[in-house]
Amino acid sequence: MTNSENKTKPTEVSPEAFIADIAHPVRRADALVLLEMMRRLSGEEPRMWGPSIIGYGQYHYKYDSGREGDSMRTGFSPRKSGQVVYILPGYSNFDLILDRLGKFKMGKSCLYITKLADVDLAVLEELIQAGLDDMARKYPQ
């Protein structure tokens, strides 16, 4: 691996087994909801990316800087503080959707959701689909 490649790679660990090991019952239940929601929306089977990210689909990127690699099209990571939902690649403005989502914090291309009960799941689905559509335009399969 060169220094320019993405260090987070798909693994052979089962996402279902990973989720089953989550001690916090709300985090585990929320992860199961996201597991199925993203499977349905993406049409892809989930894979573990590194030790803690559940990803769907894959794309190859190459930046002007020379950095390149492969990454998931969308995914999430159940963490102790809540769910991190990856809406990639993070180039589009989704403010109109986010305004209707509910309680969350935002990173460059991810959402931090303490518990799914804090957000409108239909709006979350709309957001994930918008992210997938954005990926399809930027990185066609």
Is the pLDDT at 16 greater than 80? The verdict is yes
CB neighbours of residue 62 within 10 Å: 10
Whole-number Å distance between alpha carbons of 102 and 112: 11
Q: Mind listing the pLDDT tens digit for each residue in 48-97?
A: 999 999 999 999 888 888 888 888 999 999 999 999 999 876 667 889 99
What domains are there in the chain, each with its CATH number?
15-138 (3.90.1150.200)
**What percent of the chain stands above pLDDT 90?**
67
Cβ proximity of 110 and 84 under 8 Å = yes
Residues 6+ apart with CB under 8 A from 68: 4, 5, 60, 61, 62
Q: What is the pTM of this model?
A: 0.90
Spatial distance between the Cα atoms of 27 and 29, rounded to a whole number of angstroms? 6
Tokens matching residue 10: 């798909």
Query: Which of the pair, 125 or 63, is modelled with greater confidence?
Result: 125
Copy the structure tokens of residue 116. Answer: 């799914």
22 confidence band (pLDDT: 50, 70, 90): very high
pLDDT at site 4:
46
How confident is the prediction for the chain on average, in pLDDT? 91
